[in-house]
A and B are shown apart, each in its own frame.
Chain A
Amino acid sequence: MPVDDRFSQDFREAEEDEPVGTRSEIITGPVSDWATDFSHLEPEWSADPYPIQDELRQRCPIAHTGRFGGAWLPTRYEDVAAIAYDTERFSSRSIILSNFRPPRDLAPIGGSPPISSDPPFHHDARKLLLPAFTKTAVHRQEPATRAFCHSLIDAFEGRDVVDAAHDYAQHIPMRVIADMLGFPPEDGPQFREFVENLLEGINLPPEERINRVGRLFDYLLAQVNEHLENPRADLTSYLLNAELYGRKLDPSHVVGTMALLLIAGIDTSWSAIGASLWHLARTPRDRERLVAEPGLLPTAMEEFLRAYAPVTMARLVKEDMHWHGVDMKADDWVLLSFPAANRDPAQFDQAGDVIIDREINRHAAFGLGIHRCVGSHLARMELRVGLEVWLERIPAFTLPDPSAVTWAAGQIRGPRRLPLRIR
């Protein structure tokens, strides 16, 4: 059997020392006007973006900023949907808006396929992952996830106040994705660091960002080598053996997809579970009703996903164009705000209200079109089990100090500190 030597040399050494791409000036500080100078990285946005989005939707439905080298923010459902479906004019070659635009020739593969890929490559890279993430496939993770949630709550013994974001929500997706990728479960704290580095350090100096991404790739390469020595039935070994167009995947594809699964699977579900518990802690009526009527959980969950959708994606404009009333330039960023789309009154009745028995809920929390979150079935399982176990074990809980809650800044939004009184 031939030796797999794809990783014997660090594939990054074959690339340029300095990434070829475009850097833009880093602009931070208070926003002067959200219609012309928005920034999703400022504290006002992370604390409560919804009034800002609602106001923009009325006043200037496609907002602009000169920050990040130029970016657009559509807030109407129809515009967000149109961009999500239009892969001809909007590229996914970078889906995290920053002050660095990767070179155009990175398309159609991108750095972390398939989320960073455009057609036609996208379809083939995505097809490799789909079978591992069907509802049936992720169902196999459910008993271990449930037992793990119980163990997290067991550890609350003797405490009156716990941090539901830090001590509960974050650990659930970390454990699940570590199991699926075949990484040591005790590496969880490192994953958190990787996630924060990639998704929240947007305005750091580029050298620092490159160093931080480097640490993630060092970790992933160590896992790859360990799996080459000890192959097993997990996603890492699966990716190492997977073939596309008659040959094994490029090393950068393997590691890029591993990075995607690790990063995208953690922050997002952590945010969804945390935001749901935050809502229930501050809305006793909904909490009491859900405890009394557990059969409402399916609609309640979808409503939390709609109202507190954690994920905003980004696109890059391919060519200069006049689009829905604005002049977009090639390489302008577009923030694809599924949270803003989900609160558009043109699409949802009582869009600003959380209605836990909302029957018709065509929300876009997991995206629309070809990039529908590949892990959506896994995320829904984690959210359902995380809430079921919490509500079963801790049916009564409150938010003792709303001002103590902090929210992640950036494209993934959810509570990062969430102190709840549990007895």
Chain B
Amino acid sequence: MKIQIDSGRCQGHGRCYDIAPGLFGDDDEGYGQVLGGGLVPPGQEDEARLAAANCPERAITLTQGA
């Protein structure tokens, strides 16, 4: 699974790095960033889905099988 943040939509609510700090971090202005190139390590798929489902701006995309 791969995760991506659409930087045009992200407004820095920070829900992703609150919920899944192993997969997302923040930059100097609080906008979300994917960690580790956006590859979700096995076993963390649920966390990734939860982060995406809680983004108020719908800025996170999950890609299966990547």
Tell me whether A and B are bound partners.
Answer: yes
Nearest chain B CB to A296 CB, angstrom units: 14
For B18, the chain A residues whose CB sits under 8 A away are 135, 298, 380
For A134, the chain B residues whose CB sits under 8 A away are 12, 26, 28-30
How many A-B contacts at CB < 8 Å in the complex?
52
Contact with B along A366-378 (1 / 0, CB 8 A): 1011101000110
Q: Are B53 and A130 in contact (CB under 8 A)?
A: no
Q: Are B50 and A360 in contact (CB under 8 A)?
A: yes
Q: Which residues in window 1-52 of B have CB below 8 A to A?
A: 11-14, 17-19, 26, 28-30, 50
Nearest chain B CB to A373 CB, angstrom units: 9
Q: In the complex, which residue of chain A has the Cβ closest to the Cβ of B28?
A: A131
Nearest chain B CB to A419 CB, angstrom units: 33
Q: Is A55 in contact with chain B by the CB < 8 A criterion? A: no
A127 in contact with B56 given A360-B50, A369-B11, A370-B11 (CB within 8 Å): no
For A369, the chain B residues whose CB sits under 8 A away are 11, 57
Nearest chain A CB to B60 CB, angstrom units: 11
A369 to B12, CA, bound (A): 10
Nearest chain A CB to B22 CB, angstrom units: 15
Q: Is B55 in contact with chain A by the CB < 8 A criterion? A: yes
Q: Are A130 and B54 in contact (CB under 8 A)?
A: no
Looking at B12, B18, B26, B53, which has the most chain A CB atoms within 10 Å of its CB? B12
A370 to B55, CA, bound (A): 15
Nearest chain A CB to B20 CB, angstrom units: 12
Size band of the A side of the interface?
20 to 34
Q: In the complex, which residue of chain B has the Cβ closest to the Cβ of A138?
A: B30
Question: Among A135, A359, A364, which residue has its beta carbon within 8 angstroms of that of B56?
Answer: A364
For B12, the chain A residues whose CB sits under 8 A away are 130, 134, 372
Nearest chain B CB to A102 CB, angstrom units: 25
For B50, the chain A residues whose CB sits under 8 A away are 359-360
Q: Is A289 in contact with chain B by the CB < 8 A criterion? A: no
A130 in contact with B56 given A360-B50, A366-B13, A376-B13 (CB within 8 Å): no
For A298, the chain B residues whose CB sits under 8 A away are 18-19
Q: Are A127 and B29 in contact (CB under 8 A)?
A: yes
A130 to B14, CA, bound (A): 13
Q: Is A225 in contact with chain B by the CB < 8 A criterion? A: no
For B53, the chain A residues whose CB sits under 8 A away are 359-360, 362
A195 to B57, CA, bound (A): 30
Q: Are A131 and B29 in contact (CB under 8 A)?
A: yes
Q: Are B14 and A368 in contact (CB under 8 A)?
A: no
Q: Are B26 and A368 in contact (CB under 8 A)?
A: no
Nearest chain B CB to A53 CB, angstrom units: 19
Nearest chain A CB to B49 CB, angstrom units: 9
Binding site for B on A (CB under 8 A): 127, 130-131, 133-136, 298, 302, 359-364, 366, 368-370, 372, 376-377, 380
A-B contact pairs, 10 of them (CB 8 A): A130-B12, A134-B12, A135-B30, A136-B26, A298-B19, A360-B53, A362-B53, A362-B54, A368-B57, A372-B56
9 nearest A-B residue pairs (beta carbon): A130-B29, A372-B11, A134-B30, A360-B53, A362-B56, A135-B14, A131-B28, A130-B30, A134-B26
Beyond A130-B12, A370-B11, 16 additional pairs, beta carbon < 8 A: A130-B29, A131-B28, A134-B26, A135-B14, A135-B18, A136-B26, A298-B18, A359-B50, A360-B54, A361-B54, A366-B13, A368-B56, A369-B11, A372-B12, A372-B56, A380-B18
